Amino acid sequence: MKPSARKPNWNVLGLLPAHLIMVLTLIIPIGIIIVVSFSTRGPYGGFEYVFTTAPYKQLLFNEGWTGELEFNPQYLIVVARTLVLSAVTTSICLLLSFPVAYFIALRRPTIKVLLIYLVTLPFWVSMIVRVYSWIIILGKDGVIEKTLRGVGLVDNMGSLLFGNTAMLVGLVYSYIPLMILPIFASIEKLDPALIEASHDLYGNRLITLRRVILPLTRPGMIAGAILVFVPSLGAVLEPTLLGGGKTMMMGNLIQLQFGGARNWPLGAAIAIVLMAAVMIFLVFQGLRSMRIEGLERAS
């Protein structure tokens, strides 16, 4: 036996407060949500402790009068829309952020600080106000429509608001700083000598971007993708304000179940599905980056 094994393991005791907080704020609430998702809906909202899998069935099926199950894609569409919108949001953020981050990283230090401050500036304003402002921009008689009409490009344009496009615009707008910052950090860390070495070895700009800059800033892009994709999945404000209550995402669907629809078990079941989606995504990302590292180490 190693001598250290005889000593009491103070690490466990020292970390006890952290463990307690984890249990109190993470494990127990998730446990409660799981319990609720398997409970029966109360007559006036709330729930009763009667075990049932009905909320999960309800995600996919309607129960007919005679108890027969009838496939209902209504919720599945919301889940699919959420996944697709989040993926598209992440892709657009990635495409827009890289040039922005690169531009900022190449500025002089004082300007760099200023630009980074500007990128984070929206976080100082209430999220509701920021998302709401898009209603003014996109809405009927909004800034965009008026401008286009003024120039004479369109005569009568339907509202841009209340639909997938408006939600997408809101999501990209809300989460793009979370993509710019980690990419900026990874470009900052990039040794300029490596870029010079690539040019020195007959690599033009495109080759240098593809073979040197992109591979070396991939960790920042992965971090940014996680930071944008995960909150997009759970977004509430953007679909509520810009989706117009009809086109929903999982976030406001859950809110609706706990609020207006008074179906707590269904809301809890959707929340669990959402959480599972996030966890699957993260595990997948983790495995991928582990495999990449493993490959790099093995070769």
Partner 1 sequence: MNDEAGLRAPRKAVEIKGVSKVFGTYQALKPVSFDIYDNEFFTLLGPSGCGKTTLLRMIAGFEQPTTGQIFLHGSNIQGLPPHKRRVNTVFQSYALFPHMSVEQNIGFGLENLGWSKDRRDARVADMLRLVHMEAFAGRKPQQLSGGQRQRVALARALAPEPEVLLLDEPLSALDLKLRQAMRDELRILQRKTGITFVFVTHDQEEALDLSDRICVLGDGEIQQLGTPAAIYEEPSNRFVADFIGETNFLDAEVIAVNGEQATVTTQLGMTLTASHKKAVAGQKAFMSIRPEKISLPAQANPIAVDGTIMGTNYLGGYTYYLVETGGTTLRISKRNSVSRGQMFEIGQSVKVGFAAESVRILGA
One symbol per residue from 173 to 202: x for binding partner 1 (CB under 8 A), - otherwise; what is it?
Answer: ------------------x-xx-xxxxxxx
136 Cβ contact partners less than 8 Å away, ≥ 6 residues apart: 142, 143
- Ranges within 209-228 binding partner 1 (CB under 8 A): 211-212, 215-216
* Residue nearer to partner 1 on the CB measure, 57 or 199: 199
* Residue nearer to partner 1 on the CB measure, 125 or 207: 207
Least Å from the CB of residue 35 to partner 1: 47
Q: Candidates 180-188, 205-213, 231-239, 245-253: pick the segment binding partner 1 (CB under 8 A).
A: 205-213
Least Å from the CB of residue 216 to partner 1: 6
With 0-12 / 13-18 / 19 or more C-beta atoms within 10 angstroms meaning exposed / middle / buried, residue 228 is: buried
Q: Indicate whether 163 belongs to the interface with partner 1 (CB under 8 A).
A: no
Q: Indicate whether 299 belongs to the interface with partner 1 (CB under 8 A).
A: yes
Backbone angles phi, psi at 203, to 5 degrees: -90, 125
With 0-12 / 13-18 / 19 or more C-beta atoms within 10 angstroms meaning exposed / middle / buried, residue 250 is: buried
Least Å from the CB of residue 213 to partner 1: 11
Q: Candidates 73-81, 109-117, 206-214, 222-230: pick the segment binding partner 1 (CB under 8 A).
A: 206-214
- What is the full DSSP assignment across 19-77? HHHHIIIIIHHHHHHHHHHTSEEPBTBSEES----HHHHHHHEEE-TTS-EEE-THHHH
* Residue nearer to partner 1 on the CB measure, 100 or 292: 292
One symbol per residue from 245 to 284: x for binding partner 1 (CB under 8 A), - otherwise; what is it?
Answer: ----------------------------------------
DSSP state letter for 6: G
* 3-class SS of residue 186: helix
With 0-12 / 13-18 / 19 or more C-beta atoms within 10 angstroms meaning exposed / middle / buried, residue 153 is: exposed
Q: Indicate whether 139 belongs to the interface with partner 1 (CB under 8 A).
A: no
Q: Indicate whether 19 belongs to the interface with partner 1 (CB under 8 A).
A: no
Least Å from the CB of residue 72 to partner 1: 49
Rounded-to-integer distance, Cα 176 and Cα 274, Å: 22
* Residue nearer to partner 1 on the CB measure, 121 or 197: 197
Q: Indicate whether 51 belongs to the interface with partner 1 (CB under 8 A).
A: no
Q: Indicate whether 296 belongs to the interface with partner 1 (CB under 8 A).
A: yes
Measured from the Cβ of residue 204, the count of other Cβ atoms closer than 10 Å reads 9
Q: Which of 234, 244, 231, 233 lies closest to 138, judged by CA?
A: 244
* Residue nearer to partner 1 on the CB measure, 31 or 215: 215
Least Å from the CB of residue 184 to partner 1: 20
What residue spans of the chain are helical by DSSP H?
A: 10-14, 16-22, 28-37, 54-60, 74-105, 109-120, 127-138, 143-151, 164-189, 192-200, 205-208, 214-233, 237-242, 250-258, 264-298
Least Å from the CB of residue 270 to partner 1: 41
* Residue nearer to partner 1 on the CB measure, 57 or 189: 189
Interface with partner 1 by CB under 8 A: which residues?
A: 191, 193-194, 196-204, 207, 211-212, 215-216, 296-297, 299
